[in-house]
Amino acid sequence: MKGLLALALLSSTALAAPALDWNSDDQTVFSTYPGFSLDLAEKRLVLLEGDATPRYVTELEKIQLKAHGVNFFDVTETGDLHAYAGNLQRERLAFPKPNATDLVVPIIKTLSTDGPKANLAKFTSFRTRYYRSDTGKQSQQWLLSRISEITKEYAPASLRDLITFTEFPHSWGQNSIIVRIEGSTTPDEVVIVSAHQDSTNMWPFLPAPGADDDGSGTVTVLEAYRGLIAAGFQPDRTVEFHWYSAEEGGLLGSQAVAKDYAAKSANVIAMSQFDMTAWVKRGTREEVGIITDFVDENVSDFNKALVDLYLDIPYVETKCGYACSDHASWMQAGYPASFTIESTFENSNKNIHSTNDRMDISDEFSFEHILEFSKLAVAFAVELGGWSKAK
């Protein structure tokens, strides 16, 4: 069982931490690095693959789990999330064959790499976007202001009244961001396009530009949003764009949002996560990775059909494991969710969680590749959100 393996890893001497600037004699083990509110001895409840119940580990042990590639849910504040899954009594959507080419194609032709390049340059200029850091909060505030600027610049007056911005508050300071375009005919049905905004180094106190993980997904969704509102997109269903906080801390932000929606019995039709969309490994075929494990098969198949119809590159099936990105939070709550990534998991960017996760590190980092994922996000929003007035 992977849960037992993770526990064994935690007790292994191989997990000895590199020398960092903290006082190991202090029982609270506070970091002496400025700008962080992180107690390395704080006890957290985590759920590992194969575990029936969560277990307590320290923040330091969470960091060590991440260092060994072990994914987990931090359920300290959302331990009952899975309980909502059985309470969501609603008819599942029968996903249609994509057919809104007359609406989607004109929008994807307006998408550009210019915005993603400029936005990612700024987003990666923060020393780290770690969710418990001062710069993590600052980067979230910048992102929110940038979304507001784009809305004012590109959304026609007729659309602005339908758009709302929400900071979903979290106790750690970096909030999740939710942008909602109210549906015109069935507003209680919701389609979600999402990414996570935070970054981390293997040791959180070190710089973490997070260009690919998940700066690329962040600007992917942002460019899709810009293209949609510039076209005057007024969906039949409500379409939301989410940028989650604290994915790197155990899917904390997305769990909190998913729990809130489930507690209100929100009717989320489908959710699509974009996490790492920029890397094309040298010598490999450019493609869209469609995750097939721990996802909703119907939503994933729908994304495959969208790739076939609207993108200039093919898809490839791949797996990323348990709790590997924010789609897992929505699946845990009983909502249909999917996850697309830059390639097969094996060919994805190996510079993540380091100072080398930069947009200028290699010609393998491709804004043209990001653009393909923005096309996919647009197609997902239009095909599932509907746009009957335009028709």
352-387 residue pLDDT tens: 999 999 999 999 999 999 999 999 999 999 999 999
CA-to-CA distance for 278 and 177, rounded, in angstroms? 22
Q: Answer positive or negative: Cα dihedral of 234, 336, 81, 133.
A: negative
Query: Do 66 and 116 have their domain in common?
Result: no
Helix (H) or strand (E) holding 260: helix 252-263
Stretch among 15-29, 83-97, 336-350 having the lowest mean pLDDT: 15-29
CB atoms closer than 10 angstroms to residue 237? 25
- The count of structural domains within the chain is 2
User: Is 83 within the bounds of a domain?
Assistant: no
Residue 378: which of 157, 181, 206, 203 has the closest Cα?
A: 181
Secondary structure of 193-232 in HEC code, one letter for each residue: EEEECCCCCCCCCCCECCHHHHHHHHHHHHHHHHHHHHCC
SS3 at position 190: strand
Contacts of 339 (CB under 8 A, 6+ apart): 272, 273, 275, 291, 295, 320, 324, 325, 327
Higher pLDDT, 284 or 20: 284
- For residues 63 and 100, membership in a common domain is answered with no
**pLDDT for position 94:** 83
pTM for the model stands at 0.94
What tokens does 325 get? 């990105």
Residue 8 pLDDT level (bands cut at 50, 70, 90): low
The predicted pLDDT at position 37 comes to: 84
Based on the domain organization, do 203 and 279 belong to the same domain? yes
What is the longest distance spanned by two Cα atoms in the chain? Answer: 68
The pLDDT confidence band at residue 32, using thresholds 50, 70 and 90, is low
Among 84, 75, 78, residue whose Cα is nearest residue 268: 84
State the DSSP H helix or E strand holding residue 360, giving kind and residue range, or none if neither: none
What radius of gyration do the chain's Cα atoms show? 20
Q: How far is CA 202 from the centre of its chain?
A: 18
For range 54-69, the mean pLDDT: 94
Name the average pLDDT for the chain: 91
Are residues 179 and 59 both part of a single domain?
no
- Of the candidates 10, 37, 70, which is a domain's last residue? 70
Q: Same domain for 288 and 360?
A: yes
Please check whether residue 85 lies inside any domain of the structure: no
Residues 145 and 291 placed together within one structural domain of the fold: yes
Please state, in angstroms and rounded to a whole number, the distance separating the CA atoms of residues 57 and 345: 28
Beta strands (DSSP E) in 11-162 are 43-47, 55-58, 73-74
Residues 9 and 120 in one domain: no
Supply 267's token pair: 């009717």
Assess whether 41 and 131 both reside in one domain. Answer: no
Active site positions, annotated? 196, 213, 247-248, 275, 353
pLDDT score, position 34: 82
Domain that holds residue 16: 2-70
Residue 14: pLDDT band (50, 70, 90) is: very low
pLDDT at 2 over 60: no
Q: Which residue has the tokens 């997305």?
A: 254
Q: Are residues 134 and 48 in the same domain?
A: no
Distance CA 253, CA 174 (A): 9
Q: What is the pLDDT of residue 3?
A: 54
Q: What is the pLDDT of residues 242-291, one digit of tens each?
A: 999 999 999 999 999 999 999 999 999 999 999 999 999 999 999 999 99
Using a pLDDT cut of 70, give the percent of the chain over it: 90
Asked whether residue 81 is domain-assigned, the answer is no
How much is the average pLDDT of 54-80? 94
Whether 35 and 121 share a structural domain: no
38 band by pLDDT with thresholds 50, 70 and 90: confident
Q: What is the pLDDT of residues 81-140, one digit of tens each?
A: 888 876 665 667 789 899 999 999 999 999 999 999 999 999 999 999 999 999 999 999
Look at residue 78 and tell me if it is in a domain: no
Say whether both 348 and 272 belong to one domain: yes
Looking at the structure, do residues 66 and 98 belong to the same domain, yes or no?
Answer: no
pLDDT confidence band for 13 (50 / 70 / 90): very low
Strand ranges, E, within 231-367: 237-244, 267-274, 288-291, 315-318, 337-341
Phi, psi of 119 (to 5 degrees): -65, -40
